[in-house]
Amino acid sequence: MERIVFVEVLDRRGRVLERTKLDVFPATIGRAYSNDVIIADRYASPTHLAVRESDDGRLLVEDVGSVNGVHRLGHDELVKSIPLESGIRLRLGETVIRLVTADHLVAPANVMPRAGSGLLDILKKPRVALAIPWVALGVFVADIYLNAYYDVSGSTVFGPALLGMVVLSLWAGIWAFANRVMTHRFDFPRHLAMACVVSIASVCLWPLSEYAEFFFSSERLAAGIVYVTQASLVTVLLYGHLSIIPASSRPRRRGWALGVTAVVVGIVVLFGFAEREDFSSNVDIRVPLKSLGAEWAPAVTTEDFLARSRRTKAWVDAAAAE
């Protein structure tokens, strides 16, 4: 029966960089050009490792007098000669190799996503990617104008909106540069469109917290809505950028996005706690105002209004006495 062994050179994440078929033994692995498998590693010896048949017909992996030895991963040991097991991983210098036989089992194939079914597929269309930043600019201008309670001019509306677009462009440029380094693709329009989509969602969802505070008179509820919605959008943003750079698996992208979001939320909560206004002598009264029809505005009775007024006066008097 013909013996076939495949030598796979792995990167630091365990992905296969190259694969070489061996069907004649003995076969050697090392840095010299006379080897059956050549590895470019300055810490590997000219002839570092050999795969040969033993007297009983088994395949053996042997260190052939290398300077830095052969390290078996998973067992934390240096080996001189061991039987070849399919899937065994060895480190030669700084290079990790895996030896597998032809009957080695592989994982089932992943189901390919349907083309054009996701946001990232839609952003691949050049016209869509170029149109979204203009939509985002319009949303920023409208949001600034609607939130202004004074007479505004063109510069006071368009200036902050354009500044926001510059910030988004710089953010997208950083991701596009990383994309260029890792995959030799730029994809700046898609990165910018992804950042603009999440920014538009953030602008549209932010009023939810203000309306919640207006209806329920609860700053904690409003803060909770802000944290949940904005943290979700940060996760979507990071996952989207990582998905545009196809350099890792989907579970790994999810893990990185959730991990970074957790760190960001933790930092924001820590700074928010450090800047709590109840640590100061200032009295802060928030009155969230929203444009609603009279039928939507929460109404109270006169007795309830007077009772709340008395409680407010007592609280102000106590604060002034302190």
Tell me which residues of the chain have a pLDDT lower than 70: 1-2, 112-117, 274-299
Residue 22's DSSP bridge partners are 5
Domains (ranges, CATH) in the chain? Answer: 5-101 (2.60.200.20), 119-278 (no CATH)
Q: What pLDDT does residue 304 have?
A: 82
Q: What pLDDT does residue 152 have?
A: 74
Three-state SS letters, the chain: CCCCEEEEEECCCCCEEEEEEECCCCEEEECCCCCCEECCCCCCCCCCEEEEECCCCCEEEEECCCCCCEEECCCCEEECEEECCCCEEEEECCEEEEEEECCCCCCCCCCCCCCCCCHHHHHCCHHHHHHHHHHHHHHHHHHHHHCCCCCCCHHHHHHHHHHHHHHHHHHHHHHHHHHHHHHCCCCHHHHHHHHHHHHHHHHHHHHHHHHHHHHHCCHHHHHHHHHHHHHHHHHHHHHHHHHHCCCCCHHHHHHHHHHHHHHHHHHHHHHHHHCCHHHCCCCCCCCCCCCCCCCCCCCCCHHHHHHHHHHHHHHHHHHHHC
Q: What pLDDT does residue 280 have?
A: 55
Q: What pLDDT does residue 50 have?
A: 93
Q: What pLDDT does residue 140 have?
A: 92
Q: What pLDDT does residue 270 have?
A: 83
Please state, rounded to an integer, the average pLDDT across all residues of the chain: 84
Q: What pLDDT does residue 57 have?
A: 83
